[in-house]
Structure 1
Amino acid sequence: MPASVPDLLRLVVVPVLVWAAYRDVKTRRVPSVTWKPVFALGAVLFVWDGLTAFAAGGQPWLFFLVGAGISLLIVIPAAYGFWRFGAFGGADAKALIVLALLFPTYPIYEVGAVQLPLVWTPTGAFALTILANTVLVGACYPLALAAGNALAGRFTPTMFVGRPVRWSEVERTHGRLLEDGEGFTRSGLDLDALRMYLRWRGATLSDLREDPSQYRDPGSLPAEPSPAGDGAVADGGVVEDEWGAEAFLADVGSAYGTTPAGLRAGLDVLTTRETVWVSPGIPFLVPILLGLLVGLTYGDLLIGALLTAGVL
């Protein structure tokens, strides 16, 4: 059976997601306008599928109701919840919401004599398959970090969550410091906030390292600070506010949850150490893309594993 028109139209999201994943890796920024056309397409196809299934009645209508219910009541709320509680970014949530609208049920594609996807879930809810595949693929990221660190002989408690970065590369690195003045921390300085601070001061990390005592002095703050931006990577006397941290945050309002104490601790580390441990974070659009591609070809990884193990 050849693919239906809606199923062929759904494939438009693949190049869009490829581009978005590339942007996520390079800049951790994806314009919101990226998702508007595919969201509109998803809404149209969602209604199209619903009307087609309703007209057919019976099992097609039941499958659509189950798939649509799981998309609207589980996958979309889960995507919003993950974003709301900081598990991933807004672009990741928007991508999953778009995919939930586009794929409430399993699409069908024929490649020669083979019908894809190969492995279906009992519910037929493809959006849930994408989400499950994404989580499983994302879980491989800490293992890849640990493997890289192990091959380099770096056996530390941080080997599953970070990697060492020379201070000279920090301004071009995404992620968060994993250390402060007292040792390991999971709430270190966000490097986007660091870039905001440096742009605000009109300085570089190299400047701060050359004369940290000068920059610790709030008297060295510029009379008219430069715009801090959003932190994206570009394609003497008694010191009451070391590094001008409070003045910076008072001026910009917010910098990814950074506190004056956290900014000071991060700057102290970055101006005194040659190498720092950084948690690069997951550019989560990559696991989402891979979860979709695996879903479109193989199908559901979890169900496949359970079938292989003889559980199902």
Structure 2
Amino acid sequence: MFLDSVTQVASVPDLLRLLAVPVFAWAAYHDLRTRRVANVTWLPLFVLGAVLLAVEGWAALSAPAGSFERYAFTVRAVVSLGIVAPLGFLFWRLGGFGGADAKALIALAVLLPTYPTYYLPGAVLPLEPSSLGVFSLTVLTNTVLVGLAYPLVLGVRNLLAGHRSVLMFLGKPVDSAVVDAEYGRLLETTEGRSRAGLDLDALRMYLRWRGTDLRALLDAPEAHRDPTSVGVTSAPGDGAIEDERVATDGGAVVSDVSDAQAARAETDASSAEPFDDPWGAAAFLADIDGDAYGTTPDGLRAGIEVLVERDRVWLSPGLPFIVPMFVGLLVAFVYGDLLFAALQAVGLV
């Protein structure tokens, strides 16, 4: 009896597709908090999508040759798997996506090639399906439109807080001494504003490698600038924010530079010769396994110099792509295709 009542709302495949909602909710929460999503998160969606694709594909191909059912399923599956899924891989290769973002989009392409239908009292969801009928493409366009609203939200928040700048739609101002507790990228270099400033994950990796923290570095910049001050190094990790900072000497966070070294370096700074490797930046990148999110020695040095020179800096917190993707998914299930509805409203479709 219960199964009969449930299947009157939607087909079993369409009901199973709703499992994407809690998975994406969990992923969006973790992406927002840590900017990291475990690879295993997407495995259930890949498996479920492959099974449903096989079941519905068999049903569609069993229809008479030339029938609309067979034609529609084939076109939608080809667009979803042949266009939407490769876009995720392409954006990742170009650096526009993180690995989790690409896997999330590919999972949607496999799980949602066609529009689901849900019969509720007084309504059939989605309310505004697109004429093409590729549900994963609808989720992607919804995601882009939701993401476009993010700069406006940033701008309004900065305006209300009194932070007026040409960067107010791209980032937020943060005290230099606490940027290591933020995710994102500096919007400033020693040469001015830049969208290619230091990645803060790379900064945290560098600090852990040196066994120090940002406050100690800012308190004694000349001593830390000297590459010979780098002593025993540690594993840098992946740059994620940790609850506890690097601790030594009985649990107290301490600098890798002694007070005597710091005082001597500050006194001799004006007469010292330029260092071959300021801050030990090149040594850091040569020592670690990986590229620290594309950071170069010059980029690392420029970011640190900005933090030393300025009490407050602008940084781009970024919007984890899975967050607007989750919102776009919810909108797609309930309302449908925002872009198609907008184009329809102005008479373009």
Q: Normalization by structure 2: what TM-score? A: 0.86
Match of 1:264 in 2: 301
Q: After alignment, is 16-25 or 163-172 more displaced? A: 163-172
Residue 6 (structure 1) aligned with residue 13 (structure 2): yes
Q: SS of the counterpart of 1:271?
A: helix
| Residue in structure 1 matched with residue 143 of structure 2 by the alignment | 134
Deviates more, 1:70-79 or 1:163-172: 163-172
Correspondence for 2:201 among 189, 192, 198: 192
Q: Distance in 2 between matches of 1:195 and 1:62?
A: 53
Tell me the residue number matched to 1:289.
Answer: 326
- Provide the secondary structure at the position in 1 that maps to 2:309: coil
Q: 2-side partners of 1:139 and 1:214: how far apart? A: 44
| Partner Cα separation in structure 2 for residue 245 and residue 106 of structure 1 | 51
Deviation at 1:150, TM superposition (A): 2.1
The offset of 1:120, in angstroms, is 1.3
3-state SS of paired residue (1:258): coil
What CA deviation, in whole Å up to 9, does each residue of 1:150-187 have, x standing for no partner?
Answer: 22333322122111111233111011001111211111
Do 1:117 and 1:295's aligned partners in 2 also have CA atoms closer than 8 Å?
Answer: yes
Percent of aligned positions that are identical: 56
* Cross-structure match for 2:337: 300
CA contact (8 A) 1:53 1:64 kept: yes
Other-structure match for 1:84: 93
- Name the amino acid aligned to 2:233: P
* Distance in 1 separating the partners of 2:343 and 2:27: 32
2:50/2:110 contact within 8 Å kept: yes
Please list every run of 5 or more consecutive structure 2 residues that lacks an aligned counterpart in the other structure.
Answer: 1-7, 244-264, 266-271
Q: Is 2:265 the counterpart of 1:228?
A: no
Residue identity matched to 1:178: L
Determine if contact 2:142/2:339 at 8 Å carries over to the other structure: yes
CA distance in 1, matches of 2:30, 2:41: 11
What are the superposed Cα offsets for residues 219-272 of structure 1, whole Å, 9 maximum, x if unpaired?
1001x3010011011255532111000110110141111111111111111123
The residue aligned with 2:278 is 242
Matches of 1:168 and 1:62, distance apart in 2: 60
Given that residues 43 and 101 in structure 1 are in contact (C-alpha distance below 8 angstroms), is that contact kept between their aligned partners in structure 2? Answer: yes
Residue 30 of structure 1 corresponds to: 37
Runs of at least 5 residues in structure 1 that lack an aligned partner in the other structure: none
Measure the CA separation in 2 of the matches of 1:2 and 1:255.
49
Cα distance in structure 1, aligned partners of 2:63 and 2:181: 55
Contact 2:63 2:69 in 1 (8 A): yes
Structure 2: how far apart are the matches of 1:176 and 1:144?
A: 18
Greater Cα shift, 231-240 or 40-49: 231-240
The alignment's TM-score, normalised by the length of structure 1, stands at: 0.96
In terms of mean alpha carbon deviation, does 203-212 or 152-161 score higher?
A: 152-161
1:125 to 134, 138, 141: 134
Alpha-carbon shift at residue 279 of structure 1 (Å): 0.8
CA shift for structure 1 position 32: 0.6
Query: Within 2, Cα distance between the matches of 1:7 and 1:277?
Result: 45
Q: 1:153-168 maps to which residues of 2 (within 5 A)?
A: 153-168=162-177
Question: Per the alignment, in what secondary structure is the counterpart of residue 174 of structure 2?
Answer: strand
State the one-letter code of the partner of 2:49: G
Q: Render the CA deviation track for 1:111-139: whole Å, top value 9, x for unaligned.
A: 21211001111111111111111111111
In 2, Cα distance between equivalents of 1:177 and 1:32? 28
Q: CA deviation at 1:70?
A: 0.6
Report if aligned partners of 2:185, 2:315 keep a CA contact under 8 Å in 1. Answer: yes
In structure 2, what residue type is equivalent to 1:100? A
Structure 2 partner of 1:255: 292
Aligned length: 311
CA–CA distance in 1 between the matches of 2:94 and 2:343?
31
- Is the CA contact (8 Å cut-off) linking 1:209 and 1:272 kept in structure 2? no
| Alpha-carbon separation, structure 1, partners of 2:125 and 2:60 | 20
Deviates most, 49-58 or 200-209:
49-58
Separation of aligned partners in 2, 1:110 and 1:201 = 60
CA shift for structure 1 position 277: 0.4
Counterpart for residue 246 of structure 2: none
Asked which structure has the greater CA Rg, the reply is: 2
